[in-house]
Structure 1
Amino acid sequence: MRRTLPTAAIGAVLWAGCLALPIFLDSAWISIAAIFAIYAIVALSQDVVLGRAGLYDMGHAVYFGIGAYATAVLNVGFGWPILATLPVAIVGAALVGAVFAAPIIRLRGDYLLVATIGLNAIFVLAMRNDLGGLTGGSDGIPGLGVPSLFGLQIESQSALFWFDWVLLGVVLLVMRNLDRCELGRALRYLKQDQLAASTLGVDARRTKILAFALGAGLAGLAGTLFAVQISTVSPSSFVFTESVTLFAIVIVGGQGSIPGVLLGTALMFVVPQIFREFAQYRYFIFGIAMIAVMVLRPQGLWPRARLAR
């Protein structure tokens, strides 16, 4: 425990310092920082499934999209306040994750990977075909409103930044405590050795479904924030390349490592903004970086520290 306290304190200080960024940044960089917070949340949600449970999920953008579409449909189509759509987005994405996981959870490795790719393709196709006349087809759903808290509208870039970063802080607390709860320990045992975990009383099927549900729910939260940030939702934001990006962030940053996932997110979404003239090559550069990491540092740039017993 003594080793974890300084790390937690340093992380809290850094996060608090990040909340002060709007004082020093212009509106463009405030927007980029807000997008970073959103993608950090969805990357952390991917890490629950891939990094903690060791399940090859290459369709995680689906749950991100479910959260975004749930908010867009309810807000634009039915006039719900943004914050009222947030629980629906989280629970809806979590339910889809659990229902999808239930029949395929026995699959392993490449077979599970292919199944999740199929889910991503089905989701994008359904959204493009205007599912139920609600999703707007390829054009998506424009014109989302802004969140309102205690009568105050969260509409400026700085306000949206703080809104996103406060929720990122909540997600970081959830992730930090996941390893120390029963579910986190069960996930760790399953990833290391499923047979041995079963002898310890771990219900593999139930635990894997819970991992998918938790990861999907956090992605649904990020989807709502994303929809609010860009004020429109379309299928192009949740295509297969987005799932590949999330998968790569966890691999390159470090599976099961909160700092690693944050570092991977920064490398993918912030660094290209610094070198904007090369931004169109970001997938190529990230692909080269991923190959290099796999060869030179397979545990990731910032690997997971061993937990104190």
Structure 2
Amino acid sequence: MTYKATCFGIAITAMIAAPALAEYPERTIELTIPAGAGGGTDTSARKLAILLEKKLGTSIAVINIGGGGGSVGATQFMLTEPDGYSLFATWNSPLTTVPQVQSVAYTLDSFTPIASTSESAYTLCVKADFPATTGEEFLAELAANPGKYTYGNDGIGGTMQLAAERIFQAKGIEAVAIPFGGAGETLQNFLGDHVDIYGGSIAPVLPYVQSGDVKCPLLTSAAGVKALPGASGLEAVGLADKETLLWRAILGPKDLDPSIVDKLAVAIDESVNDPSYVEFLATMGEVPKVVKGEALKIRLENEYKALAEVSKALGL
């Protein structure tokens, strides 16, 4: 083949590919959520989808596939075609936590990171009469009473348990983990005095903090959060490097075209920072956080490694 023929072939290929990409998306995008309807990830993803439809100029169909802590939906999604018409709206646990405690068919390399959307600290909360208010006092009370206090969490090897144990192990604390089926169930058992400490996301417990029945001494984030002004971030207790967050992201299947990834990342960034979405996130105790592409991949890998160390130490 001559040099001229080769160049002609490349030019033709570029001419065919360019219009196809320029027209993307030209049909409905399916957005898989690895959880049932009504939860935090589902609610935030559906709100975001409305804004993305306007940015991308197409409709988005939401598909809920719950089960296995998000692993069922993740497993089914990884089999979709990398054509840009199948996207995955998830929280971090199915990718970085669940694989630590159960066998899954996927790895981090089974997905193409596009962009994260929001993040929030988990929190550890107690009843108003608990003998500690600040994060430092709370940790000191637990350390002085090994094995006395129980804390509810999101299941054996769940993100909340691993987040708490990263903190407790650093301080030599022995607390008894009691697993439940999510933050809602944990809250019910905490309010019913079946566990001493609530461990979970901020939104479910916030009304009880505002009423004065509950106080939250400690967060799992390095810094404090506006939703819980009385809670200490880990930086305040000398444990900033033990930060574990609840965060959400949009991913694609493996081998998704980089040009499509870039286009989607821009649309997600603009939608996440839309004032209406920022206001919505605040009601959930979350803040916008957009980390794109390779940087998101690194975040996933680093969190996976950190939680693997904690899981191994716990014998999970």
TM-score normalised by structure 2 residue count: 0.25
Structure number with larger C-alpha Rg: 2
Q: Which has the higher contact order (CA 8 A, sep 6+)?
A: 1
Where is the strand percentage greater, Structure 1 or Structure 2? 2
